Amino acid sequence: MSDAARQLDTDTASLLASIERGLAQTARGEGRVNTPEQIMARRLGGRPVQAEHKKPVTLRLDADVLERWRASGKGWQTRAALALAKSAPGAA
């Protein structure tokens, strides 16, 4: 058997193994079917455009205050920003 034929056999075996893994995943409910719209949305990627952009700042906080905010879980920065907005001078 020539090297080209052996390579083709290896490539074919690899392709078949990949297909078998995919079929096994589908049988276990792990496979995913994507619509063309889902594929295009994933290609576009990124965050949605917002009308108002937030400004990055440097803020010095006491270590215990920062730790309490972080301990409050995911989204702590958004909650801290809302708390600051409510207590900002001139806030309604």
pLDDT digits (tens, 9 = 90+) for 13-33: 888 888 888 888 877 777 676
- Is 1 part of any domain? yes
- Is 22 part of any domain? yes
53 versus 91: the higher-pLDDT residue is 53
Q: Does residue 8 register a pLDDT over 80?
A: no
Q: Does residue 9 register a pLDDT over 90?
A: no
- Render 6-70 in DSSP notation, one character per residue: HHHHHHHHHHHHHHHHHHHHHHTT------HHHHHHHHH-SPPP-SSPPPP------HHHHHHHH
Range of 70's domain?
56-92
Q: What is the pLDDT of residue 70?
A: 95
The percentage of residues in the chain with a pLDDT greater than 70, rounded to a whole number, is 85
- Is 62 part of any domain? yes
> How many domains does one find in the chain?
2
- Is 72 part of any domain? yes
